[in-house]
């Protein structure tokens, strides 16, 4: 599979401060890649390195087959970029500003700009300096998407957006992916990334803590389970099942509670030997899993693995 982004041992230090340590990562053509991590994890550092806004201390980054340092100008026409701290000239109105950027990029169809602005609810007649933070973010999104770039690099794209506009943004991402565009987006919100991403990389303290498909992360996640039986059962019948070591049967032998890690299949087969009167399963909480990666807790079920 063709890689749109290839990072090899990418490292950035700021004096004595660590920004990023030995990041190796491939982003495949046509995928939506979610780059998650808490504040200060190294997301913006990675993104700035991809765009040659800062230079690496070590390692390499290849974007669309090009070296961001040597081919920065060529790259800019093929990439849509939204900075985490998107700023724009405040004196112009939105309409003029977007047309100015469109001209710099060699022209963008008028309908493309208008359509994006309408969908995001952005009034193009307003002066940029009068816009709220959320509306400025919409300007940033329009300029990133409007020329339908091969690769979208979006740093915290939904910051400041209200929930309805966030949903419109997620629709735009899915539509871009359906057209074959690749999206690399950073976030610290698991739910929004989970809704659109094929794969997720989780970064913590400048290092990759996990890399997998959303489906695999979910499959490896922890489920909370509560079962009641018509007649008392033996604990050993369940706790021996794969992934069910954290289950406990109460003294009466009729209520089983706790957690199952990974596939619940073995437990379901063990339960099927008994009369189950109630069964409550809380779906895999990626959010919880995400926190376990953030905190480096033992609940993180898998080592970093490059999966396709």
Ligand X SMILES: Nc1ncnc2c1ncn2[C@@H]1O[C@H](COP(=O)(O)OP(=O)(O)OP(=O)(O)O)[C@@H](O)[C@H]1O
Site residues for ligand X per CB under 6 A: 14, 17, 19, 37, 39-45, 84, 188
- Helix ranges (H only) for the chain are 43-50, 72-78, 94-104, 110-120, 133-145, 163-178, 190-196, 214-219, 236-239, 265-271, 286-295
Instruction: Compare residues 34 and 220 and give the one whose CB is closer to ligand X.
Output: 34
Residue closer to ligand X by CB (options 40, 121) is 40
Nearer to ligand X, 19 or 140 (CB): 19
Q: Are strands 151-155 and 182-187 parallel, antiparallel or unpaired?
A: parallel
Residue 171: both structure tokens together: 């629709």
Output the smallest distance, CB 246 to ligand X, in A: 32
Measured CA to CA, the distance from residue 65 to residue 67 in angstroms comes to 7
| Minimum CB distance to ligand X, residue 85 (Å) | 9
CA pair distance 94, 90, nearest whole angstrom: 9
**Local structure of residue 305 (DSSP, 8 states):** -
Q: Report in angstroms how near the CB of residue 59 gets to ligand X at its nearest.
A: 15
Q: Which is nearer to ligand X, 44 or 292 (CB)?
A: 44
Asked if 153 and 82 count as a contact pair (C-beta separation under 8 A), the reply is yes
What's the rounded Cα separation, in Å, for the pair 153 and 206?
Answer: 19
Residue 121 corresponds to which tokens in the numbers above? 């609810």
Our CB check for ligand X shows the closer of 16 and 305 to be: 16
CB 157, min distance to ligand X, A = 12
CB 27, min distance to ligand X, A: 17
């Amino acid at each position: 599979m063709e890689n749109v982004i290839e990072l090899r041992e990418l490292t950035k230090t700021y004096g004595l401060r660590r920004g990023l340590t030995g990041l190796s990562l491939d982003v495949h053509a046509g995928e939506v890649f979610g780059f998650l991590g808490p504040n200060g994890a190294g997301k913006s550092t990675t993104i700035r390195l991809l765009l040659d806004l800062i230079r690496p201390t070590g390692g390499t980054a290849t974007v669309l087959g090009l070296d961001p340092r040597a081919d920065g100008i060529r790259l800019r026409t093929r990439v849509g970029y939204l900075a985490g701290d998107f700023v724009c000239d405040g004196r112009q109105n939105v309409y003029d500003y977007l047309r100015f950027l469109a001209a710099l990029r060699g022209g963008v169809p008028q309908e493309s700009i208008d359509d994006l602005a309408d969908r995001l609810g952005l009034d193009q007649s307003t002066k940029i300096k009068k816009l709220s933070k959320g509306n400025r973010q919409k300007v940033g999104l329009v300029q990133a998407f409007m020329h339908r770039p091969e690769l979208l690099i979006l740093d915290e794209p939904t910051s400041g957006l209200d929930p309805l506009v966030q949903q419109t943004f997620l629709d735009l991402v899915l539509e871009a992916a359906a057209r074959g565009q690749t999206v690399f987006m950073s976030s610290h919100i698991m739910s929004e990334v989970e809704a659109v991403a094929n794969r997720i990389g989780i970064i913590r303290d400048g290092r990759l803590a996990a890399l997998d498909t959303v489906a695999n992360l979910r499959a490896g996640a922890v489920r909370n389970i509560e079962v009641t039986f018509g007649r008392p059962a033996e604990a050993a019948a369940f706790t021996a099942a794969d992934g069910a070591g954290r289950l406990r049967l109460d003294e009466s032998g009729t209520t089983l509670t706790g957690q199952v890690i990974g596939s619940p299949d073995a437990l379901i087969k063990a339960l099927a030997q008994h009369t189950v009167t109630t069964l409550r399963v809380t779906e895999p909480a990626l959010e919880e899993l995400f926190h376990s990666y953030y905190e480096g807790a033992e609940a993180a079920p898998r080592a970093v693995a490059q999966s396709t």
